[in-house]
Amino acid sequence: MKVFYSDVHFQHNPPFEIFDGGEKLPNFEVPERAQRILSALHQTSWAEILAPQNFGLEPLRAVHEAGYLDFLRSAYDEWQLSAIDADYPKTALLPATFPPAGWRRKPSSLLGLAGYYMMDLSAPIVAGTYAAALASANCALSAASALLEPEPTFQKAAFALCRPPGHHAGRANCGGYCYINNAAVATNWLSRSGKVALLDIDYHAGNGTQDIFYEREDVLSISIHADPHFEYPYFSGYADEIGAGAGLGFHRNFPLPAGTQDSQYLAALSEALKQIRAFDPKYLVVSAGMDLYGGDPLGKFQVTASGIRAIGREIASLGLPALIVMEGGYNNAALGENMLAFLEAF
């Protein structure tokens, strides 16, 4: 299996985030996450670790608004040059103000734009954030390109070891540790060659992916996740959100209760796979978050390592060319083995 990975992810290492209730904590989304998975892959006989190609900005602009991408590119440098309290250490950019519902006038000031484009306080922008996000997107695009190669180099499955993750990034927002929606960028790129099903198994709802594909009929997007009645991202991921316009019926959410165990998860997955088979896509993209694991500090499911292995087997049984994109997962001690348990099915 071709695995695409870039050391550039080390450049993104925020020193803190503002967690639930306003508590300032060390960031959960750290470089160790990718290194744990990489170390586990190095122990296998089947993982071919490759550097990503550079696909340029056009695949990103096809998914994200140009103004938002410009903000990601320039925000940190502009903040460093700003005259706001020169004695205050500027290590990570976060907004202090967010627009209430209906207040969507785009401001011109940097801190105003930060509130306009940043969904929450868990996606700080540091000096290397933009470079790492670009490299992460290129990993996803490179893995997607492996699915298009002719024999004998064609890959039935390829893995994008993306960091930072992406599924909370919408058309014009970052949030939830995500800046560029890697899976969505790769899905849109693959959709030029045929219909694509995008299955998100991260513990949290893929609100950014939903935002991007909600009115598309050539992409079936499905998310299995913790019920947003009690879990982040709270404002998206409900069962009655099924697409709009041309995309009506081409998006599905499967919100699950706290304490969900293997059998409950696999039952929801079975329903999702039925819909994918009915859609009859040419390609499958999986947003693979390992925070569904019972020992994850940011999750409330009770899915076991053997459950993760079974989830991988069920998804692989579709028999589709599959792009697997790394999303969340914050139990670093178990992350490498959990990811291998999932990938080995492919």
Residues assigned a catalytic role: 168
Following CA atoms 131, 133, 139, 141 in sequence, which dihedral angle do they give, to the nearest 10 degrees?
A: -110
**The residue to which tokens 């316009």 are assigned:** 245
* The pair of three-digit structure tokens given for residue 172, joined into one six-digit string: 């014009």
Cα distances (Å, whole numbers) of residue 92 to 50, 59, 127: 30, 27, 8
| CA–CA separation, 208 and 75 (whole Å) | 21
How many secondary structure helices (H) and strands (E) does the chain include?
Answer: 10, 10
> 338 and 293 in contact (C-beta within 8 Å)?
yes
| CA–CA separation, 199 and 328 (whole Å) | 14
Cα distances (Å, whole numbers) of residue 62 to 75, 91, 300: 21, 31, 35
**The residue to which tokens 């071709």 are assigned:** 2
| CA–CA separation, 116 and 181 (whole Å) | 18
* Cis, peptide link before residue 228, omega less than 30° from 0: no
Vertex 168, ends 163 and 174: CA angle to 5°?
80
Which helix (H) or strand (E) segment holds residue 283: the answer is: strand 283-288
Conformational region of residue 85, where left means phi above 0, alpha means psi within -120 to 50, and beta covers everything else: left
DSSP secondary structure letter of residue 45: S
> 29 and 132 in contact (C-beta within 8 Å)?
no
Cα distances (Å, whole numbers) of residue 161 to 33, 47, 102, 158, 328: 10, 12, 37, 10, 11
